[in-house]
Amino acid sequence: MVASLAERYDGADPGALHTPVMIERCLELLAPVAARPGAVVVDATLGMGGHGEALLAAHPGLTLLGLDRDPDALALAARRLDRFGERAILRHTVYDGLAEAAAAAGLDRVDGVLFDLGVSSLQLDDAGRGFAYARDAPLDMRMDQTTGRTAAEVLAEEPEGRLRELFERYGEEPLAARYARAIVAARAATPIERSARLVEVLQEATPAALRDRRHPAKRVFQALRVEVNGELAALERALPAALSSLGRGGRIVVMSYQSLEDRLVKRVLAERSRSTAPAGLPVELPEHRPEFALLTRGAERADAAEQHRNPRAVPARLRAAERVREAA
């Protein structure tokens, strides 16, 4: 029987296992609300608890509601945050369960919400999860291994047209049709159950002229991960719920690591930060004024020093907004 991550890392310092991305900027953006008396901040993607620990340490009056779909991550984060006692409330849920988790904790409004999207360091470093195409492992890719289909099951069950659609939509893969066709042909001979076998199929299907330009598996693995975990659909539900949970002056900070997520975050924040006044109206009525104001100009990036120190910060894109008006 394979030990869980929490069991394998038993006794290890969780802080030494994970380097939070853009932590100083996140703390800076959330400080005005986290410092309020009785403040509550939701870490909707708790992971190893790095951002949550920093927030709790910096603001002695803060309560943190930490959410994560990965039971192993929650177990490790619980150990990391144990010293904060009842100020750290942890819940096992996907981030689109934010409203329900807040209600269950007796919270009507919160002061801040933080999203650190994508695959956690814990999941990437666990060979048994199958997220990394650079190492051979079972094709699982579930962030919560207690539920849902694995990537191997998606590859075995979906027809060629659906696989092509997944690779195009979630991986933005220009060779999607070619790769889908190759996978269907390969699985007819033997099931594709391990990452090394999938990489082999993709490499064989890649034109020789393109093999040295980029790894053929990168976008396909991203697409499978997004599909297996329903990431974009969950984010589409989670962002409006998070914005609605914020009281006046409340702040949201979102870090994304791939263009599909970042475009969705950009669109939602822009829509809620725009006037709804009909064109040609001579005076903007109060109910048409924007509910939110953007706190960042475009997407912010980690500085060169952090990118060098922590390669996982390289693709990070950070956007933030503040509620300036209650919804009508």
Count of Cβ atoms closer than 10 Å to residue 311 Cβ:
10
222 in a known ligand binding site: no
72 in a known ligand binding site: no
49 in a known ligand binding site: yes
Q: What pLDDT is attached to residue 31? A: 98
What are the CB-based long-range contacts (under 8 Å, 24+) for 280-287? 286/325, 287/328
Domains and CATH numbers, the chain: 5-121+232-323 (3.40.50.150), 123-229 (1.10.150.170)
Q: What pLDDT is attached to residue 19? A: 80
Q: What pLDDT is attached to residue 15? A: 59
- pLDDT tens-digit map of 200-240: 999 999 998 887 777 888 999 999 999 999 999 999 999 99
For residue 7, pLDDT over 70 is answered with no
Range with the poorest average pLDDT among 42-46, 53-57, 324-328:
324-328
Range with the poorest average pLDDT among 95-104, 164-173, 262-271, 278-287:
278-287
What proportion of the chain, given as a percentage, has pLDDT over 90? 74
For residue 1, pLDDT over 50 is answered with no
70 in a known ligand binding site: no
123 in a known ligand binding site: yes
- pLDDT tens-digit map of 8-34: 555 556 555 668 999 999 999 999 999
For residue 285, pLDDT over 70 is answered with no
* Helix residue ranges, H only, the chain: 5-8, 14-17, 23-34, 50-58, 71-81, 98-104, 121-125, 151-157, 160-171, 176-189, 195-205, 218-229, 231-245, 259-272, 304-309
For residue 2, pLDDT over 50 is answered with no
What proportion of the chain, given as a percentage, has pLDDT over 70? 88
133 in a known ligand binding site: no
Mean pLDDT along residues 112-117: 97
- pLDDT tens-digit map of 75-111: 999 999 999 999 999 999 999 999 999 999 998 889 9
51 in a known ligand binding site: yes
